[in-house]
Amino acid sequence: IFADVIMPFDPEDFDLENMLAPPGGKHLMGTDELGRDLLTRTLYGGRVSLVVGVFAMLIAVTIGTLIGSFSGYFGGILDNVLMRFTDFALAFPRIFILILLAILIRPSIPTVVFVIGILSWMPVARLVRGSFLEVKNQQFVEAAQALGANTGRIMFRHILPNALGPIIVAASLGVADAIISESGLSFLG
């Protein structure tokens, strides 16, 4: 986040006197074949990867939480339809869909974030569904229903806060998965 503050070098500046310099001195990780500082370039590259990972996971968590919460709370036919759709989406290898979409859509960071986000919501939906199935039969939910709380309030004010633990864990693991997907796409062009 603070790469431009803590690093004295620009990631694109050439230093022709220090080409392929070994680690140490003023270049802690050394330099590349054009004399650019490798630590600076790593920090700036990490910034892009973190942006992609975090925003892709925000999209995935939002979609997964909505689908999982409706599926877990209402159950029945809606649960069957939503979970079969989730299973259907999980059946496709994500990397092939990412490559296909990267070819069809003009590649940019927002496009990559969006595509990775919409292809990563399925595990979150399954976790949220399981949490909702566990929490919806507890007494505080019955008390809220008895007091006349509407469905949206019960779902998002009472049940969802009690289901946040698995969602946070899935999101943090999903950020790493999104970064790996982004780096794979970057490697493939």
Give the DSSP letter of residue 120: S
Helix (H, G, I), strand (E, B) or coil at 161: helix
CA distance 27 to 142: 63
Q: For residue 95, what pLDDT is reported?
A: 80
Q: Are 109 and 55 in contact (CB under 8 A)?
A: no
25 pLDDT more than 90: no
DSSP percent split of the chain into helix, strand, coil, nearest 5: 75, 0, 25
Q: For residue 31, what pLDDT is reported?
A: 92
Residue-wise pLDDT tens digits, 5-18: 888 888 898 888 88
CA distance 167 to 84: 21
Q: For residue 92, what pLDDT is reported?
A: 86
97 pLDDT more than 90: no
Report, as an integer, the average pLDDT of 143-163.
94
188 pLDDT more than 80: no
Report, as an integer, the average pLDDT of 142-161.
94
Give the DSSP letter of residue 163: T
Report how far apart, in Å, the C-alpha atoms of 114 and of each of 1, 144, 173 are.
22, 37, 18
Report, as an integer, the average pLDDT of 104-131.
91
Report, as an integer, the average pLDDT of 153-165.
94
Q: Residue 44 is encoded by which pair of tokens?
A: 């700036």
User: What average pLDDT is seen over the chain?
Assistant: 91
In sequence order, the 6+-apart residues with CB closer than 8 A to the CB of 37 are: 7, 9, 11, 15, 27, 29, 31
Helix (H, G, I), strand (E, B) or coil at 92: coil
Q: For residue 18, what pLDDT is reported?
A: 86
156 pLDDT more than 80: yes
38 pLDDT more than 80: yes
Instruction: Provide DSSP, 12-50.
Output: T---GGGTTPPSBTTBTT-B-TT--BHHHHHHHHHHHHH
Confidence of residue 135 (pLDDT cuts 50, 70, 90): very high
Q: For residue 26, what pLDDT is reported?
A: 87
Residues of the chain above pLDDT 90, percent: 69
81 pLDDT more than 90: yes
